[in-house]
Structure 1
Amino acid sequence: MNLSHIHHVLTEAKKITNHTDYVIIGSLTALGLKVDPPDEMVRSIDVDMYPKDDPGRAGEIAALIGQGSPFEDEHGYYVDAASPDLPTLPDGWEDRFVIHDFGDVKALFLELNDAAISKYARGEIRDRIWIQEGLKMKLLSMPTIECRLRQTAFLDELEETSVKQRIAEDKKLLNLDNET
């Protein structure tokens, strides 16, 4: 995926909802960077998103240009409905969007270190690869992630413990134990 794909999806979403600002979460937040992210961070074919001012309409968008739609058949990518309540994120995440203004629509990308917290909480293999690539390429900062971890309300103690364990594993794997 690349920014032109994001612009295409947002333009189609605007036709459905008439909204212009869309929040992008998930793996494709890496497209908000000013540099080209590694392939491992943008391999996804689904754009996890919602209209910033009307999150409840994300399902309507996904129904028309989501998985299994003629849009996906034609273009090879699709929208996955997201919600601001779905991911585990640190306090203040909505103040740290990375904004890409396409003129007719805006993409508000979740800041990468915030996205990493959410990915650590989910803990899937592809999420761990995304994080590890970001850390290797210095697109993510372990000190920032650990600081934001203290600002995160987790679902429960198990989720928090699991996130801390995954962070410890990555620090050891990537030899980041001395980073401060």
Structure 2
Amino acid sequence: MKREQLEHVLRAASHVAGDPEILVIGSQAILGGIPEHRLPPAATASMEVDVAFFDDPDDFKADQVDGAIGELSPFHDEFGYYAQGVSVSTATLPAGWRDRLVLVDTAGTRPGRGYLLEPHDCVVSKLVAGREKDLAFAAALLEAGLIDPAVIAERIGTLNVAPALLQRLRSWIATYGGGVER
């Protein structure tokens, strides 16, 4: 996915939901914190933007987005990418993540504004999810030198997760982060 495509999704999601404040919590949040030309292909491979709304307690807005511009919608058919409406609670995130959001507010997003996870927070959430594609995403960013393994390790330490998951995350960062472990 390209930054221009992300902005298009933000614009469309804002129109569909009638809400300009959009949170991007999936892998394509990386497009807010790191210039697209610096990203490895594995970081921009997804054609899906996970969008949530801060004021959506019953996920009504997320459901509207799914129906209008989600997977297999006419929007998806026409453009080749789509939004998936999700809940803010979908991702497990490190403490303080809201204070580190990256604002994407351009002519291409209006009337919407995207609040995208800071790259390290995005990687931590992907490591928690732990699917093969999530681990490949995280490894590609580490290998490209675009995220700091020490910051990832520090943020992993702030998670409120089961001890077994915390150990899996610490082992991953020790293996892939050049021996960094906290």
Q: Which residue of 2 aligns with 1:81?
A: 85
> Which residue identity is paired with 2:83?
V
SS at match of 1:14: helix
Single out whichever of 96-105 and 31-40 deviates more from structure 2: 31-40
Q: Which residue of 2 aligns with 1:11?
A: 11
Per the TM alignment, residue 116 of structure 1 is displaced from its structure 2 partner at its CA by 1.2
Is the contact between residue 61 and residue 79 of structure 1 (CA under 8 Å) also seen in structure 2? Answer: yes
After superposition, the CA RMSD in angstroms is: 1.8
> Which residue identity is paired with 2:28?
L
Residue 151 of structure 2 corresponds to residue 144 of structure 1: yes
Q: Which residue of 2 aligns with 1:157?
A: 163
> Equivalent residues in 2 for 1:18-33 (5 A)?
18-33=18-33
Q: Which residue of 1 aligns with 2:130?
A: 123
> Which residue identity is paired with 2:139?
Q
- Which residue among 170, 173, 181 is the counterpart of 1:167? 173
> Which residue identity is paired with 2:26?
G
> Which residue identity is paired with 2:86?
A
Unaligned runs of 5+ residues in structure 2 are none
**Deviation string, structure 1 residues 61-82 (Cα, Å, up to 9, x no partner):** 1111101111111111111122
**Deviation string, structure 1 residues 3-48 (Cα, Å, up to 9, x no partner):** 2111211221122122112111111011113422222101101101
Unaligned runs of 5+ residues in structure 1 are none
Is the contact between residue 120 and residue 167 of structure 1 (CA under 8 Å) also seen in structure 2? Answer: no
Between the aligned residues of both structures, percent identity stands at 30
Is the contact between residue 173 and residue 180 of structure 2 (CA under 8 Å) also seen in structure 1? Answer: no
TM-score (norm 1): 0.89
Residue 61 of structure 2 corresponds to residue 54 of structure 1: no
> Which residue identity is paired with 1:125?
E
Per the TM alignment, residue 88 of structure 1 is displaced from its structure 2 partner at its CA by 1.3
Q: Aligned partners of 1:11, 1:108: CA distance in 2, in Å?
A: 13
TM-score (norm 2): 0.88
Q: Which residue of 1 aligns with 2:47?
A: 45
Per the TM alignment, residue 106 of structure 1 is displaced from its structure 2 partner at its CA by 1.2
- Structure of greater relative contact order (alpha carbons < 8 Å, 6+ residues apart): 2
Aligned length: 175
Single out whichever of 53-62 and 12-21 deviates more from structure 2: 53-62
